[in-house]
Every structure is written in C-alpha cells, then in structure tokens.
A and B are shown apart, each in its own frame.
Chain A
Amino acid sequence: MFSRRQFIVSASATAAAIAVPGLVSAETPEWSPDHITMTGDDEDELRRYQPYLDIPWADQQSLIGVYGWFAESEDYDTRAYYYWAKYNSQNSLFDALPLIGGLFSEDAHFGDHEPVIVLADPDSGEVQRVLYSGYHHFAVDISGEDMTLVEDAESYPTHPSLQVAVPHHHFRHQRDDSRTIAASSISGAEFGSFLDQRSSWEQNGVFDSSSDTAIADPWAMSDRGTWWDESTTDYQFARIRVLLNWRDSDHDELIRE
C-alpha cells in the first residue's frame, strides 16, 4: 500500500490526481500537528472545494474574504480543505453594557470568522464529510452523501452549499443550491490563503479562546464538536447560549447536541 507521501509523488500520472507538483509545501508550518505531512494554499486548488454561499447582499458587503488552506495526513485517508469566512464585525448594542456586555456580544474573541471544512477522498476527489460552524462556533458534521454539493469546474460535485445565517454569519445547510454563488466570486471580497492570514489573526487575538487543535487539525473537529477551548469563560458563555437554545429556529443539528 502507498503511504500518503508516496501517493502525492506518484499521483500526478493519474487522471484523478489532486496533488499538483509545485503547489504544495513539503515543509509543514510549525503550528501543524505531527501527523500532517503536507500543507498548501494554491488558489486554484482552494477553489476546487470552496463553499457556495447563499448570502444576503448586506452581508456580502461586510464579507472581507474567504481564506483557505489544505492538508494531508499520514493518519487519515482524506484530504482536508479548511476555509474561514471573515467579516468586518458590527458594533453591538451590548457593548455599552458594563462588564456583562461581552456575554452577549457575538464571538468576543473569534471576531467574525466562520469556519468550513471539507474532507475529500484524494483518489476519487469525492467529498466525504463537511463540517462547519452551525452556531456560535459549535460544529455541524454532515456526510458527503447527505450534503448538498454544487458541481462546477470538476466533473463531479465538490462545493458544499451553505446559507449564511443572519445576523451572526454561521452556516446552515442550503438544500436549494440555485440560491448560492461561489465564495471566490463575491464582489469586493478577497479569496486567498489562510496561511498568509494566520499570523495577523493570531496577533489580533482571533484565536485567543479557541482550541489550538481545532485551528490546526481539520480532522479533529468531528470528535471535538467545537472550535472553542473548553477551559475559557467564552466557551462557557457560548455553551450556555446553546443550552438555553438562544438560536435561530432553522438551525442544523450540532455535534454537541
């Protein structure tokens, strides 16, 4: 049996090859877990599995960009495509509340950054699983079979069809894919590399209350169920919101429900 690295080297001769010579980095970032053997941020490759979004006009205006990276692991048979949608956050009325304002303000530390992960079979290219922030950085996990996928440049469907929830910008499964557009085609929004953005986001505290594993290991989310670091008070506040069911009525089922 081929190892993952052997596959990358040999696969360029096959029709379904995903790994494109020169587009991936043999050197993985220092923050990535040991089992990750390859990372990349080539835009063409990122476009292959980018989400298609049903997003209202007003929210398109606040969308700064969608930033992604992809990775392979010696422990998993899938290739991971990990995207973050970044919005410029709105001022909250709760901000004026002394001390407790942060309890009600949306995503005090994540800012307005919403993740989507696509796990695909590297041989067939088929989507195996899709995970996304379904409410306040708690994850929804849907199989490729059950997910509505849009077929675009490839000869098979690859793009998860998602609705951007108003006003908090988490995602819902959009079964009517005719309402969606490619994230990279949204006017005024950037489509690019998460690897280029990560340092700035970290410096600005975007991940202060998040799990390092959740950010660096796209395969971990199925078990974790949340992007939060459970030791933080921000997580506790978020958990309370879920338990009290302070949610949009049309939500998808979270892993942690």
Chain B
Amino acid sequence: MAVASLAPTTEPGLLGWDRPDDAIVHSDDRPSWIVSVEGDDADERADNLSALRDWVASANNRELIPEREHEGSGVATIISSPSDIGARNRERWLGDGLQSLSYIDSIELNRSVSLADPLTPESSSAWSSPGPMQSLLLSTFADGSPGSSGVAFDSDMDGGEMTNAREATSATATDLTLPDTSSVTVAVVDTGVSANGYLEDDSGNTRLLDSSTNFVEDGDPSGVGETRDGNGHGDWVAACYAANTDDRLRGFLPEANVLACKALSDAGSGSLSDIAAAIRHAADEGADLINLSLGSPQFSQSIEDALSYAVKQGSIPVAANGNDRQATRWLAFPASSENAIAVGSTTVDPPEDARSAYYSNVGPHNGYTDLSEGATAGAEPDVGAPGCKLESASGDTLTGTSMAGPVAGGVIGLYVADTGTTDLETVRDELTATAEPIPNAASEEIGAGMPNAENLLSGTEPDEPQEDAVTTEAASRGAAYDFLSGSRYTRLIANF
C-alpha cells in the first residue's frame, strides 16, 4: 500500500498524523478516503466490498458515501477517522486499522484538486534561471540548458480561433475528407458543460447526453440541466470538441455527443473521489474519449485505478500536461499516467512555426517529486498542440494545456470516427507516428510533435521525425530536462 497516498504528512511520534490542507473533511473533523479492495474477478470484489460495508457499519463514526461505491472496480469512498483507517504511526506499527486488513488493496486520502492557471513568468525576463548548483552540474555534465530562448511567452502568443487550431493540425475539409463524427462520444470531466446552442444538431436537438452527471452536488444528479458550467472552463473544452458553428469557431467533432461529467466546482476545484467517479461513469457510459483538462503535482492511485478501468472499457483518456513548468516542472498527474495521452501546449501556429509555451510542463518525469514512488518515472508528453490565447465557440479566449488537450483530443476523435478504434495504445502509436515535428520544441516538451489529422487518417508518417527536426536551441533545453530528471544523485542536487 502506498504510504504516501495514505498519509502524506505523517509526523514523528506514536499518534503522528497531520491532515494536509487539501484534504476533504466532513463532520466531526473526519477526512474521507478512497478505498480499493482486492479481487481478481467481480465476485471476489463484491465479497470484499461487502466486508468493507460491514467494517464501516461496525463503528458509529464511519460512513460510506453510497454514490461513490463502484462494484465493477471494487472501489468505495468512506468517511472515517485517521486512527480507524490506520493512518497514524501507532496503528501502522501495531498492524491495526483498515489498512491492515488483507482484503484492502489501497487507501488514499481524498484530496482537492484545482485547475491550474498558467503561472508566471509571462515574459522571458522573468524566466527563473537554474540555481547555482544546477547550473554548475548542467555546464559540467549535461549537453544543454533549460534556458528561455525559443520558448513562447505571453508576448510571443498571437493567439487564434478554432479554425487556426484545426488548420495547424490539418483537420480541415481542405486537408482531408472529414468523417461523420456522430458516432463519437466525448466525456468532458471538468467544471461542467451548459446546454449551449452550439451543442445542438442540425435539427435543434442538444447533443449533450441525458446521462451527463454532476458529481459535485450531493446525490450526483443527472440530466442535461444538471451540469451547468459556472466557470467557463468546461464549456470551452466542450466547444473545442463539438461546437457546431460556422467555420471560424467550429469544433473538431461537430456531430459528436458530449457527456458532461461535472467533477470540478464552478471555482475550479474538485475532489479525487469525484474525479475518479466521473472517469468511471464516462467509461460505463461508453465514452470514446475522456478529456481531463485538470491535474495535480501529486500522484493519485485512485485516479490511476479509474483510468485503468476506463482504458479497459475502451475509452481514451486525454490529459493536459500541466501549467507550472517553472515550479513543479514535470508532467502533472494524470498526464503522467501511462493510461492517458499527455498533451503539451504550443502557440497557435503550424508545426514548423509553433513554439512550446512557457508554462507547459515537461518530461521525463523523475517519478518521485509527485510521491508516486516511481510509478510515473520517465513519463513524457505524447504530443503538443495549440493552447495559447485560443478562442472557442464558448466565447472565451483561454490559455493553457487545458486548451491543448482538447485540440489533440479532437484530432483523436476524428480518427475514432473514421476507424472505430478506441484502444489506447493503438491510438497512441498511430497519433505519435503520424504527428508532424515541431522544430522549435524539444520532445521533452511536445513529445512526437503536433497531431496531424490528415496524416493520422491516411496512415502517413512525416518526412522527418521530431528528434531529427529539432533545432539546436530546443534540443539543448530537452537535454537539460533529461539531465535534471536523471539519476538519483542529480535529483538530490537539483533540490539545492
């Protein structure tokens, strides 16, 4: 069991356990916990969930949240004291608490996750340089430097509209015969999706599905009117995918169905439990794509388990790299999961001119700063897509990897519509093999390059792969990231 996820802030002493600030807390100061039970098949998981229900009923200060119980994957969210869970040092040493029972697979503290706005610096003058120790190491041992040159800052971003993003990814009618996308369902796990007019089909019927669900509200109400977005983030994402408007702001999949999974509040934050439930709901509803324009610098076993379940059900999770390259640097989670397509952000330009955005997180992940105990080590972006000052039919012009993710997801959606393929690894292989190189960016920033719908649907590989096309400047940044992520020794030094 991952100790870090069970009790990330265990302190010295017998009773040591200090609740982190982002813990979801209920009445009587009790946190909630996401519990996964053992079980190789559905019957065994059902038996073990039954045992968990009995455990919850056996004390007066424990509760099970009914809407967060998922029999298919053997997961439940419960409310209980840290001592009953066994999070404190005393219970761990004595082998007490829920964590000690053999039918328990994992327990994770339910925490809050927020949308991350792109961080400063917005200009190259504010780009923070490596510290003296890092600089010394890089100049001595590495082939590059993580400098600002070649990276796009705010003043470098001209921005654009959806038509520009579709042109940059060769997803227009002039590039290819666009497939009918009405068979595609896109789940938007976000701040909600409102039933806006641009989500209607040509007959005036909304393509927002009745099974759209609000996981933020008690009881998980479902229905078209239950997932209204009071933030704008989710609406932007839905519009990028599926807006049926004139060419200027049309989405990539203008006939697709949208499954809104409101797992983030209008303020842009949500719990791990709600997000995991939303991912499973999307999978159970048969979503082809699950868009996750959200992330955390900390690994989550619960989200990882939900993604694994979704992939097995035939869904393709698409995740944003994260927007704090200057702080946490490495891919946010779930972009760092092997069960998601990770998307970095570029300017709204064709691949030959595009530049990596200053905020866009990079790989390869070192696998330890996110407390994943190595699970995310080596994770890199799969592709990079336009995500800077991009206007969608929602009416907002937004910036971030949150925007790049749906652009890449839109290209993938065209492939799904054309081929019916929803196997994640097949899609990843085809997407990256056919992506066009972005010479101004390192693969550590944008993976294999920019998704290209024309190439993807025709199975055409680019003339030159990303590693051959990259400029010396960009390659230098990439080499520096490789080095900084590298050995345990350099990881330790990097903290100076």
Contact = CB atoms under 8 A, between A and B. Distances in A.
B133 interface: no
Interface string B81-112: 10100000010001010001111000000000
Interface in A177-214: 197, 199-201, 203-205
Contacts of A197: 54
A91 B61 contact: yes
Nearest to A190: B57
A114 B81 CA distance: 25
Contact of A89 (B51, B58, B94, B102): B58
Interface string B478-489: 000000000000
Given A203-B102, A205-B101, A99 B57 contact: no
Given A200-B50, A201-B54, A203-B51, A88 B101 contact: no
A200 B50 CA distance: 7
B296 interface: no
Interface string B138-180: 0000000000000000000000000000000000000000000
Contact of A99 (B81, B90, B101, B103): B90
A152 interface: no
A88 B60 contact: yes
Contacts of B90: 98-99, 101
Given A96-B15, A98-B14, A102-B94, A204 B60 contact: no
Nearest to B56: A88
B126 interface: no
B371 to A, nearest CB: 27
Given A102-B94, A200-B50, A203-B101, A90 B58 contact: no
B267 interface: no
Interface footprint category on A: 20 to 34
Interface string A96-129: 1011011000000001100000000000000000
B37 to A, nearest CB: 10
B266 interface: no
A137 interface: no
A64 interface: yes
Contacts of B60: 62, 88-91
A159 interface: no
B41 to A, nearest CB: 16
Majority DSSP secondary structure for residues of A touching B = mixed
B492 interface: no
A149 B96 CA distance: 40
A201 B58 CA distance: 10
Nearest to A205: B101
A98 B15 contact: yes
Contacts of B59: 88-91
A129 B102 CA distance: 38
A86 interface: yes
Contacts of A204: 51, 54-55, 58, 101
Contacts of A205: 100-101
A96 B55 CA distance: 21
Given A200-B50, A203-B48, A203-B103, A86 B61 contact: no
Contacts of A201: 54
Contact of B57 (A64, A90, A199): A64
B305 interface: no
B47 interface: yes
Contacts of B51: 199-200, 203-204
Interface string B60-85: 11000000000000000000010100
Contacts of A176: none
Nearest to A113: B58
B279 to A, nearest CB: 28
A111 B47 contact: no
A23 B47 CA distance: 24
B430 to A, nearest CB: 45
A95 interface: yes
B102 to A, nearest CB: 7
A108 to B, nearest CB: 8
Nearest to B83: A95
Contacts of A95: 83
Contacts of B83: 95
A85 to B, nearest CB: 13
Given A98-B90, A102-B94, A64 B58 contact: yes
9 interchain residue pairs of minimum CB distance? A200-B54, A98-B14, A203-B51, A200-B51, A88-B60, A204-B55, A89-B59, A203-B103, A111-B58
Interface of A: 62, 64, 86, 88-91, 95-96, 98-99, 101-102, 111-112, 197, 199-201, 203-205
Given A91-B60, A95-B83, 4 more contacts: A62-B60, A86-B58, A91-B61, A200-B51
17 contacts: A86-B58, A89-B59, A89-B60, A90-B59, A95-B83, A98-B14, A99-B90, A112-B58, A199-B51, A200-B53, A200-B54, A201-B54, A203-B51, A203-B101, A203-B103, A204-B58, A205-B100
